[in-house]
Structure 1
Amino acid sequence: MDIEKNIKLIKTIRKYPVIGWREWVSLPELGISRIKAKIDTGARTSALHAFSLNPFTENGKNRISFEIHPLQHDTENIVTCVADVVDKRMVTDSGGHGEERYVIQTPITIAGQTWQIEITLTERENMLFRMLLGRSALRKHFIVNPARSFVTTKAHKK
């Protein structure tokens, strides 16, 4: 690699803050003040644990209500969410299984930054993380250091 390319790479890296492979995030419009997310650069789209999905139409808009257990190992705490449906698409999980999922768009906040992301809704009850944050949501916002965790906040105890 020549010197000019190295300089460009260094400037790009310095432009974005660093996050770890897992971080606490919030989804303010969904009423989720904190949820632990796995930062998954291998996944294109972000995914959120959701159950009791109930699609409906309101004022000509496709919407969905759903429930979520935002904290792993805690099925007592339930948050009911409502969002506009922006799409319904086939998603292939890491095991190669295809599933048609509802897609919503909502703001996410990490490290004081807030922006809109797309999230697919799927049942993740038996997964370690209630949320996966995919590379489409991370693009042009952060650099991921897989050797670090909870860079932006301290880990919260239940």
Structure 2
Amino acid sequence: MAEKQQLGWREWVAFPDLKLPRIKAKVDTGARTSALHAFFTEPFERDGAPWVRFGVHPQQKDISEVVECEAPVLEQRVVRDSGGHEELRYVIETTLAIGGSTRRVEVTLTDRDSMKFRVLIGRTAMRGRYLVDPGRSYLSGD
């Protein structure tokens, strides 16, 4: 069995399919699903399939940089946040890169402007590959 990579409670990650090369993420084993900041979401169709276009502010505390992204929609799902509030979110599947390794993950889109991190990596994205050391940060080497 391959040794699992260690992650800290925060890491630099990338979403190459979305042209997001470096974005700070909170690694959260208490969250099931991963979430990506999207300050607008516009559904549309491409070749008869549902897609979503959305904007990302990749840097914390900076809304001047905008990356426009597009992805096929897997589904829409009601997600409960840490405060108990429910929200209907778009769910996409995309490539997540951490520390030189990549994997396909499900990510929900939500406005995280008021949150400290633009990305939340949930436990389903980490399952089987990573161990989290909550007392350390940036162990992936990115």
Which band: TM-score by shorter chain? over 0.9
Task: Identify which of 52, 76, 82 aligns with 2:64.
Answer: 76
The answer to whether residue 18 in structure 2 is matched with residue 43 in structure 1 is no
Task: Describe the superposition over 1:109-152 as per-residue Cα deviations: whole angstroms up to 9, x where unpaired.
Answer: 00110010000000000100000000000001100000110011
1:1-158 to 2 correspondences below 5 Å: 15-153=3-141
Q: Distance in 1 between matches of 2:88 and 2:61?
A: 26
Which structure has the larger Rg?
1
- Which structure has greater helix proportion? 1
Distance between the aligned counterparts of 2:55 and 2:67, measured in 1? 6
Q: How far 1:102 sits from its partner (Å)?
A: 0.3
Residue pair 2:40, 2:111 contacting (<8 A) in 1 also: no
Count of aligned pairs between the two proteins:
142
TM-score by length of 2: 0.97
Shift of residue 60 of structure 1?
A: 1.1
TM-fit CA distance, 1:22: 0.3
Q: CA deviation at 1:73?
A: 1.0
Point out where structure 1 has 5 or more consecutive residues left out of the alignment: 1-11
**Ranges in structure 2 where 5+ consecutive residues have no aligned partner:** none
SS of residue paired to 1:136: helix
TM-score between the two structures when normalised by the length of structure 1: 0.87
Distance between the aligned counterparts of 1:16 and 1:52, measured in 2? 36
1: CA distance between counterparts of 2:5 and 2:107?
22
Task: Tell me, in whole angstroms, the C-alpha distance in 1 between the residues paired with 2:103 and 2:135.
Answer: 25
Q: CA RMSD in A?
A: 1.1
Give the letter for the 1:63 counterpart.
W
Displacement of 1:153 after TM fit? 2.6
Relative contact order (C-alpha < 8 Å, sep 6+): which is higher?
A: 2
Alignment identity in percent? 49
Partner SS state of residue 30, structure 2: coil
